[in-house]
Amino acid sequence: MSAGLSLEQAPPLSVPLRFFLSAPLFGLAAAGLLLWLGPDALASRWSAGALALTHLLVLGVLTMVMCGALLQMMPVLVGVRVARPRLLGTLCHGLLLLGTLSLASGFLGAGREAFRAAVALLGLGLGGFLAVMGLGLARVAQMQDNVRGMRWALLGLALTLGLGLLLGLGHSDLGLPLWRLPLTDLHLAWGLLGWIAALVAVVAGQVVPMFQMTPPYPPLLRRWLAPGLFALLGWRSLAAGYGLPLAQLPVLLLAALWATFALLTLRLLARRRRKVGDASLDFWRLGMLALLLAALIGAAALLAAPAAAATLGLAAALLFLLGFALSVVNGMLYKIVPFLVWLHLQQRLATRIEVRHRIVLPNMKSLLPEPRTRRQFHLHLAALVVLLAAVPLPALLRPAAALWLADFALLGLNLLGAARRYRAECRRIDRHPDAVSGSPASA
């Protein structure tokens, strides 16, 4: 009976934090690469630079944060029991980090050995993560909408990973070079929509109503968004694979689905009952606006003449990755990191009976001060606007890259500030004059 029920507190802080602190570094690498390559990088989505950039961002930033957050949340909120969280976290993080670097260097010309290493590292790292999470989720007794949604998102990651590994083997001269084009298309569609967007939708269904105090999402949407998404992606994959007619229709329906989700979320956020806003809320709003625009522009790209279609497609892709996914992830980090730091400090203090009532811990807002998070939001917004302007005006690409560099640097510094504050507060607790030296009172 107790299989699905572990309400123990979270894994050690270092487990999620190493994922969260690595993400801005990959962002810096991506922005630096864009600055270095300049307008050539985005000339074609098949260019080596574009592929390296995309994977630094999608694996190194987005998937990095999402894996860290899932390792943290699943045991606490869904009741998935993760054995040896520290070991799993260390392995998964290390493999994902090295695998992403190998893959990016492979795209940038490091040769087939780099692709082989990437296939092995990412296959093990993400495959292991999926195995642990999948097994855990399969054992959860209560089937709430968020558990269902989580399973779909992990299935999306599994399919994306599988396709990616096939493609990686192709780059390693071990695989199926003839299929590369359709496989890349599927890999892209499943990765962006079946994994990233699907996971954001699950998370939003849970956290938007709770933390912003909005009305809930309509049950119909919560129940059927993920299955509907997967049906459309499947339809599109089959239509592409077998050259079926109406191959465009599922894509238009996918755009309609995500536009609906974005509009609905914006409407819910407008009806929230807490007045106090923060940078995190602004990131969510921006993210949903960008998702709406990405869906509309993506649909327009499908119907436009080929010359315009490439430009519109690029704009939609940038809006999706940097405007939508990155903004939402950024907004989530600004809630998760200060709360986890606070929670772990609280727990540390609770075991020190002798000083428990003499130390006042900093609250979340002082761990991650609002002016700093707000400043990074403004930088993020500016970087996005200039980057979009660079789609028709390539001369703006390097200034845009410089803004992204600053954006990721500030995000990293903000998160690092909270982590350093954690250390300082730990020392303050341990070295308090009334603390019994070196002996944490054990329960």
Nearest CB to other proteins, comparing residues 363 and 439: 363
Smallest distance from the beta carbon of 206 to other proteins, in angstroms? Answer: 7
Q: Are 323 and 297 in contact (CB under 8 A)?
A: no
Which pair of structure tokens corresponds to residue 401?
Answer: 């890259």
Q: Are 175 and 116 in contact (CB under 8 A)?
A: no
Distance CA 306, CA 393 (A): 19
- Residues with Cβ within 8 Å of 397's Cβ and at least 6 positions away in sequence, in order, are 34, 38, 39, 41, 42, 387, 390
Smallest distance from the beta carbon of 363 to other proteins, in angstroms? Answer: 5
Distance CA 310, CA 163 (A): 24
Nearest CB to other proteins, comparing residues 1 and 246: 1
Distance CA 371, CA 278 (A): 10
Smallest distance from the beta carbon of 357 to other proteins, in angstroms? Answer: 10
Nearest CB to other proteins, comparing residues 75 and 175: 75
Tokens 């892209």 locate to: 188
409 burial type by CB count under 10 A (0-12 exposed, 13-18 middle, 19+ buried) = middle
Nearest CB to other proteins, comparing residues 278 and 407: 278
Nearest CB to other proteins, comparing residues 83 and 276: 276
Nearest CB to other proteins, comparing residues 318 and 345: 345
Smallest distance from the beta carbon of 43 to other proteins, in angstroms? Answer: 45
Smallest distance from the beta carbon of 210 to other proteins, in angstroms? Answer: 5
Q: Are 352 and 441 in contact (CB under 8 A)?
A: yes
Chain centroid to Cα 82, Å, comes to: 21
Give contact residues for other proteins (rule: CB under 8 A).
1-2, 4-5, 7-9, 76-79, 142, 144, 146, 206, 210-211, 213, 273-276, 278, 335, 339, 342-343, 346, 360, 363-366
Nearest CB to other proteins, comparing residues 44 and 144: 144
Nearest CB to other proteins, comparing residues 248 and 271: 271
Smallest distance from the beta carbon of 399 to other proteins, in angstroms? Answer: 35
Nearest CB to other proteins, comparing residues 44 and 366: 366
Smallest distance from the beta carbon of 58 to other proteins, in angstroms? Answer: 28
Nearest CB to other proteins, comparing residues 248 and 366: 366
Chain centroid to Cα 292, Å, comes to: 18
Smallest distance from the beta carbon of 335 to other proteins, in angstroms? Answer: 7
Query: Residue 135: how many CB atoms within 10 A of its CB?
Result: 12
Smallest distance from the beta carbon of 359 to other proteins, in angstroms? Answer: 12
- Residues with Cβ within 8 Å of 242's Cβ and at least 6 positions away in sequence, in order, are none
Smallest distance from the beta carbon of 362 to other proteins, in angstroms? Answer: 9
Nearest CB to other proteins, comparing residues 185 and 370: 370
Smallest distance from the beta carbon of 347 to other proteins, in angstroms? Answer: 9
